[in-house]
Structure 1
Amino acid sequence: MAAELDLGAVDCFLVGFPPGALLDGGALTQMAALVDAGVIEVLDALVIRKDDDGSISGVNLAEMGGAVAFTGVRPGLPGDDDLAIAAEEMSAGSVAVFVLYENTWARGFVTAVHERGGVFPGSGRIGTDDLLAAIEAAGD
């Protein structure tokens, strides 16, 4: 079943920008470079804003005419539940971006595993900030 989609590993991340953070498109440019290099393919992305009164709004990045190419595999995958979860972590006046992406470098590996009857019963990811904190703590 999964091999029919011909997808590599799919991941997501949430990036938060506190009030006053520099939103100049630099991070988006770097993500676009990963897309252009064939390392990832952005499947969907949602820009989320938490207003000073605590209200939440979100817009799909593809609707904003962003610089990143989208496959449109399933636009709208980040839904209201994702918006609510992200909002819990956000402070008033902040912006966050939820990105769903395929690790295209893994396509061949994933396909080979599936063709041989293998499955991926689970995977995990360690948050960058958590890993950096652990490395720093280990050095103390």
Structure 2
Amino acid sequence: MTVTAFDFGPAEVYIIRYPGVLPDPGVLEALAALVADSTVRLLDILVVSRAVDGAVSVLEIDDLPTDGALGEVTLDARGLAGNDDVDSIADGLTPGMSAAIAVIELLWAKNLAERFSESGGELLETVRVPAPELNELAAAAHIK
């Protein structure tokens, strides 16, 4: 049997809109904890902001406060969140709003993806059900 080793496992791109310039410290702390636990690997992150006057700015990880909740994180695939992503997201931001674009590798799923591949399996599709939607579905079905 041939062992398949991927450089990267499955990854997801999260685009989160919020008021102000920097994400809430609690969000950054949660992300840092997942990275520290080797549950995920942060491949890239950008913050796109639209000022009250309409000007757009982009902050990369080097521009984020180093004493912040994210701590010292190294990006393993800087540049995955490209200019097309930034332009598209900036167009949808109203003044005073920002969006974080985070490319997050799912380390917990990497081993599973390698085993599927080496066994001849072929991934046909993945579907992510957002937490708010799943909770609504569960409540409607009276599942606790």
**TM score, norm. by length of structure 1:** 0.78
Deviations 1:49-78 (A, max 9, x none): 012233322122245345252342x21111
1:26-41 paired onto structure 2 within 5 Å:
26-41=26-41
Give RMSD over aligned pairs: 2.7
Greater C-alpha radius of gyration: 2
1:82: how far off? 0.6
The 5 A counterparts of 1:5-20 are 5-19=6-20
Evaluate the alpha carbon distance shift between residue 71 and residue 55 of structure 1 in structure 2; reply closer, same or farther with a 3 A threshold: closer
Contact 1:12 1:100 in 2 (8 A): yes
In structure 1, what is the Cα distance between the partners aligned to 2:119 and 2:33?
33
Match in the other structure for 1:67: 71
**Consecutive unaligned residues in structure 1, runs of 5 or more:** none
1:82 alignment partner, SS class: helix
Residue aligned with 2:125, SS: coil
3-state DSSP of counterpart to 1:91? coil
Given that 1:44 and 1:78 are in contact with CA atoms closer than 8 Å, whether structure 2 keeps it comes out as yes
Q: CA deviation at 1:130?
A: 4.0
Q: 1:53 to 1:63 in 2, by over 3 A?
A: closer
Identity of aligned residues (%): 26
Kept after mapping to 2: 8 A contact 1:42/1:68: no
Q: TM-score, with normalisation over the residues of structure 2?
A: 0.76
Query: Distance in 2 between the 1:107 and 1:89 partners?
Result: 33
| Shift of residue 84, structure 1, vs aligned partner | 2.1
Aligned-partner residue type, residue 12 of structure 2: D
Q: Do residues 106 (structure 1) and 109 (structure 2) align?
A: yes
Out of 29-38 and 62-71, give the one that drifted further.
62-71
Which structure shows the higher helix fraction? Answer: 1
The answer as to 2:61 corresponding to 1:89 is: no
Q: Which moved more, 1:60-69 or 1:81-90?
A: 60-69
Q: What's the counterpart of residue 25 of structure 1?
A: 25
Question: Is the 2:6–2:114 Cα contact (8 Å) retained in structure 1?
Answer: no
How many residue pairs align between the two structures? 135
- For residues 104 and 60 of structure 1, what CA distance do their matches in structure 2 show? 23
Alpha-carbon separation, structure 2, partners of 1:134 and 1:68: 38
